[in-house]
Amino acid sequence: MQVYTLHEGSYSVDATKKFIPFDPAIHNPKDRPASLFIHVQPFLVKLNNSLVLFDTGLGYSNEEGKLHLHENIKKAGFKPEDVEMVLMSHLHFDHSGGMVHDNKGKMELSFPDATYVMQRGEWETAFSSTSSSYHTDIFDFVQRNAQIKLVEGSGKLTSEISYELTGAHCPFHQVFLIETEGEKVFFGGDVLPEPEELIRKFIAKYDFDGRKAMELRDEFGKKAAAEHWKCLFYHSKSKSQAFVEIEEDRFKIS
């Protein structure tokens, strides 16, 4: 199993929920008051017989109009059309924007041959919610043009890939675990978005149920340490892929 971090860059986001590129070399955070500063990085996983993508980033394009996500997949040595499953933790814009590609004003599926896997409750929320975190135009297009698999609760997609409904960050958030040939890779989406959130226990205001999210981070951290999971951190500013250890009742990232 090979895992590739698809770095999409650093961004600031404020109450408008707009993600604006942020380069600390040329930008001053003081010029963006009341903003969160985050990294965005989907993950590509090569299994023996398939290519799997965890979340899809913002869907931004470069100056030539090419999708950053596609270019990053090519840099990893693969073709975007070879992605067989797109596994969505949830459908907030910074995770779902890359499900589609705005190609010079024309919307296209980013992965026309892939199956998009989502929780049914999250899919329904994406259409009914008034939150600006959900961009309904994306989901309208996906509904009409993509191969979709809606799952409910927790279970297994394949003999190697399992999913678990966690809620916490949003009511129908899910996480994934891949197990193959003795290796385990865990994608915690926005329930476990950064390694630092394991080390510092806190209730985040951006979570639907902050206390549950905090408790889940602790639970997944302990499992990761005990079962030697490689954890993938979607918003990490430091390590995007890491193992977790426990020393003197504290988490350590390695």
Higher pLDDT: 40 or 202? It is 40
pLDDT at 24: 82
Weakest-pLDDT range from 101-110, 162-171, 183-192: 101-110
For residue 209, CA distances in Å to 17, 134, 169, 204 come to: 19, 18, 6, 9
Q: What is the mean pLDDT of the chain?
A: 94
- What would the mean pLDDT of 196-203 be, rounded to a whole number? 89
112-151 tens-digit pLDDT? 999 999 999 999 999 999 999 999 999 999 999 999 999 9
Q: What is the DSSP letter of 192?
A: S
Flag whether pLDDT at 104 surpasses 90: no
Amino acid at 158: T
Alpha carbon distance 236, 239 (integer Å): 6
pTM of the entire predicted model? 0.95
Other CB atoms within 10 Å distance of the CB of residue 206:
14
pLDDT given for residue 189 in this prediction: 98
Q: Is the pLDDT of residue 211 over 90?
A: yes
Q: What pLDDT, in 10s, does the model give residues 184-193? A: 999 999 999 9
- DSSP for 99-159, please give it: GEEEETTEEEES-TTSEEEEEHHHHHHHHH---TTS-HHHHHHHHHHSEEEEE-SSEESSS
Whether the predicted pLDDT of 8 surpasses 90:
yes
Q: Which of 227, 233, 155, 162 is nearest to 191 (CA)?
A: 233
pLDDT at 21: 87
Between 185 and 238, the more confident residue is: 185
pLDDT class for 156, splitting at 50, 70, 90? very high
Please check the confidence at residue 105 and state whether its pLDDT lies above 90. Answer: no
